[in-house]
Chain A
Amino acid sequence: MTAQTHSAAEYALELRGIDKHFGAVHANKNIDLKVEKGTIHGIVGENGAGKSTLMSIIYGFYEADQGDIAIDGKVLKIRDSKTAIASGIGMVHQHFMLIQNFTALENVVLGAESGELIDDSLDKARTELNRLSDEFGLSVPLDQPVEELSVGFQQRIEILKALYRGARILILDEPTGVLTPQETEHLFKVLDSLKAQGTTVILITHKLREILAATDNVSVMRRGEMVAHVKTAETNQEELAELMVGRKVLLQVDKGDSAPGDVKLSVRNLSMTDSAGVKRLDNVSLDVRAGEIVGIAGVSGNGQSELLETLAGITPVDSGTIDLNGHTLDAQHPMNPSQVRKAGIGHIPEDRHRMGLINTFSAYEAFVLGYHRNHEYNGALQMKQGAIIEDCKEKMERWDVRPQDPYLKTANFSGGNQQKLVIAREIEQNPDVLLIGQPTRGVDIGAIESIHKRILEMRDAGKAILLVSVELDEIRSLSDRILVMFDGTIVGEVPADKADERTLGLMMANIVPDEIKALQAEEPA
């Protein structure tokens, strides 16, 4: 840490001893932070490190149990977002805080009206927004309902909202998760021009590359604690990664060569339009062979989730054909998720809370979800509860799910153990094909390694595995081949040994480098 010689007023924001509990969870532990005026300050940390909680405290969304917040050297009590806004703090949340059926203009005005009637407010805001968007390159259609606008536009509206309220400190929480690299680049330009005008920017992310590209200073959080403050120019990706996880991470998993066998999963010209009429999958074709892992890379929201859910029988197919382990699935031959399972397909869903688990169920009930109609678990009327519990105990032991209590509610297991529960359930049914989405999301480092090992074991046991993840490192270290998705299409294929970050990054923005094009020309899929 560098010696601090600044006087207090040079800090736009200063936190002293911020502490926050949520029930039994200690989300923020005695946090100190100093953010210099007119800089871009990055805060990195793993998922669940407490970054978002900390920012929500600064923004008055939560109240800290202890500690002080000082803005421009003055200690303030920020009880609600109103106080935070009045103190010049603006925040762009990870999930946008927009009223979907309001226009951009109405969204900006909401909470910052100039009088009892809104017509004046709207006129005033229009003039001001035109000025702001010219100045910072933030043009948006002002009179269209937000729900009709792209994610990029919606994010601009969020930034405009903050600026319109006179924000001098702008907090952005994981702003790039939904953006392409190009949009990200544009965002960083906007941030630079804000900085040039004297605005202080706090950028929260778990992506190290962005921290290095965009910030002046960086603070690192780990398990609720602030573990380091460094100047960006004086650090590098490896050091930050180590600080984030607390020890040297093996970014590369040891794995042998794959021995691909027969094609077990084959997709041809698959398209899918969602209920809002948006085309989510556009002419997707791919093959997965026994004994290989095919990774799907892409910025989240480019059709990966829809691909997995369509293959799993959750979303119906519009057009195209899927061959699932010898069974045809298309518009004429729909299959529901239980038929897909019977065909020998296991599915580890992207979001275990939304799909993989029923929070109120006991562990033993969770262990049969999707297989609860199987013969071995059922009598004529009654489910064979004794057998199910025995089965559950065995699997919990084999997979080291802790605590080993079949009666415990799934909600009360830790994230890593919940994920093990889902993975164990799907793998123990011994499927031929595994669809895996975000296997390590919200899982601690120790569990990540063991989950990765299990996935590789499945590959070596001859299973065909399709892996979707937004973590490029995960995709690169596990996959034998990598397909990149953009806007519902597959942009191209990269062999694992050619998959460096730059290549994948470009392809995720729909730009295929020449050498990859050349590769694809040689061996047509």
Chain B
Amino acid sequence: MELFDSIILILDATLRNATPLIFAALAGMFSERSGIVNIALEGKILISAFAGASAAYYTGSPWMGLLAGIMASVVFAQLHAFATVTHNGDHVVSGLAINILAAGLTAAVGNYWFSQGGNTPNLVSRAEELNARFEPIVFPFADALADVPIIGGIYSELLSGHYILVYLAFLAVPLCWFVLFRTRFGLRLRATGENPQAVDTAGISVTQVRYLALLVCGVLAGFAGVYLAVALTAQFSPNMSAGKGYMALAALIFGKWRPKTTMLACLLFGALQAIADRSQGAIILGFEVPVQLVEALPYILTVVLLGGFIGRAVAPKAIGKPYVKERA
């Protein structure tokens, strides 16, 4: 029973860890499928976490936090589009600029606003009678069933009691699939990532498609950031994204730019993180695996995949290339 409990705990943590990765990886999917390399997920997560926590603190409402977080992330995403689409800037450099700018601005402005070394105040404070954090959603009868063996563990522990954003993340996966593969917008977006010139000659504005793609990217990345600051922890602290944007990018590549497989990659990476967090090392088949190896595994796996040793990840063909009308 102890093993079962610890498995449930790890799976429970897996869902929590995977949530920001799923939002961010889906965000990256819209961007990369439209042809824009997105190493800027990190910065978008960070800025939305900061804006989300600040707004939630000032308004006392996590939902206002969500709104503000999404708006901040969208502004950065549109800046990304302005650089890469309007001015044909290098995608990697633009992404880097956004990440560095977000890291600096959140800390400097945060310190100016709250004078707490870049942190926001805690969103749950009895003294200020403040509770601006998302509340966990408890499923019906979860409490009653908690003590029932197996079912209690799965239903009450694992499935029930997460923040609403966790459930939204998993709903976002089929939704994004539908948008990408069953709508006009998705068709055009995927085409733009493959051959923007063909899209242009079909009478569609490449600029418009890419701006829209980054708009959606901004919204989704906003969810990821707000989840970190307003749900998972009740506070923003500088650099709290801690590489999640890059890990989401790795998951997107590991999932071969497809929604379902990307979600599975996020779950895998989330589980590895959960294992690493739980122990100083994992014992696998009698060998002690250092916790650092478990932590690094998502990146190692992605490199191995990119090396073509486990399947082949084929990126959208026009990714990373600014679209410039060439002289005939």
Contacts and interface: CB of A to CB of B under 8 A. Distances in A.
B184 A97 contact: no
A85 B195 CA distance: 19
A461 interface: no
A61 interface: yes
Contacts of A119: 182
Interface stretch (A102-110, A133-141, A285-293, A448-456): A102-110
A116 B188 CA distance: 11
Nearest to B200: A81
B187 A97 contact: no
Interface string A76-103: 0000111011100001010011111110
A111 B325 contact: no
B202 interface: yes
B191 A93 contact: no
A99 B198 contact: yes
Interface stretch (A52-60, A186-194, A334-342): A52-60
Given A52-B328, A100-B195, A100-B317, A80 B203 contact: yes
B194 A110 contact: no
Given A113-B187, A118-B182, A119-B182, A97 B203 contact: no
B201 interface: yes
B197 interface: yes
A85 B203 contact: yes
Given A61-B200, A82-B204, A93-B201, A98 B183 contact: no
A61 B325 contact: yes
Taking residues whose C-beta sits less than 8 angstroms from the other chain, chain A's interface range is 35 or more
Interface string B171-212: 000000000001111111011001101111111110000000
Give the interface residue-count category, chain B. Answer: 20 to 34
B327 interface: yes
Contacts of A84: 203
A91 B327 CA distance: 17
B201 A59 contact: yes
Contacts of B201: 59, 61, 81, 91, 93, 97
Contacts of B186: 118
B325 A110 contact: no
A112 B325 CA distance: 22
A477 to B, nearest CB: 29
B183 A81 contact: no
Contacts, number: 81
Given A110-B188, A116-B184, A118-B183, A100 B194 contact: yes
Given A59-B201, A62-B325, A80-B205, A99 B195 contact: yes
A524 to B, nearest CB: 47
A117 interface: yes
Contacts of B195: 97-100
B308 to A, nearest CB: 13
A63 to B, nearest CB: 10
A115 interface: yes
A273 interface: no
Contacts of B191: 99, 102, 110
A119 B194 CA distance: 21
A80 B197 CA distance: 13
Nearest to A161: B202
Contact of B187 (A61, A101, A106, A161): A106
Contacts of A112: 202
B203 A22 contact: no
A121 interface: yes
A98 B203 CA distance: 13
A109 B187 CA distance: 9
B194 A101 contact: yes
Interface string B199-233: 11111110000000000000000000000000000
Interface string B139-157: 0000000000000000000
Nearest to B181: A118
Contacts of B199: 99, 110-111
A113 B184 contact: yes
B194 A53 contact: no
B301 to A, nearest CB: 25
A115 B328 contact: no
A117 B183 contact: yes
Nearest to B317: A100
Nearest to A95: B197
Contacts of A99: 190-191, 194-195, 198-199
Contact of A111 (B182, B190, B203): B203
Contacts of A82: 203-205
B182 A117 contact: yes
Give 4 nearest A-B pairs by CB, closest first: A111-B202, A82-B203, A97-B198, A52-B328
12 contacts: A52-B328, A61-B200, A81-B202, A99-B191, A102-B191, A110-B188, A111-B199, A111-B204, A116-B185, A117-B183, A118-B183, A119-B182
Given A96-B198, A111-B199, 5 more contacts: A82-B204, A97-B197, A99-B198, A100-B194, A109-B187
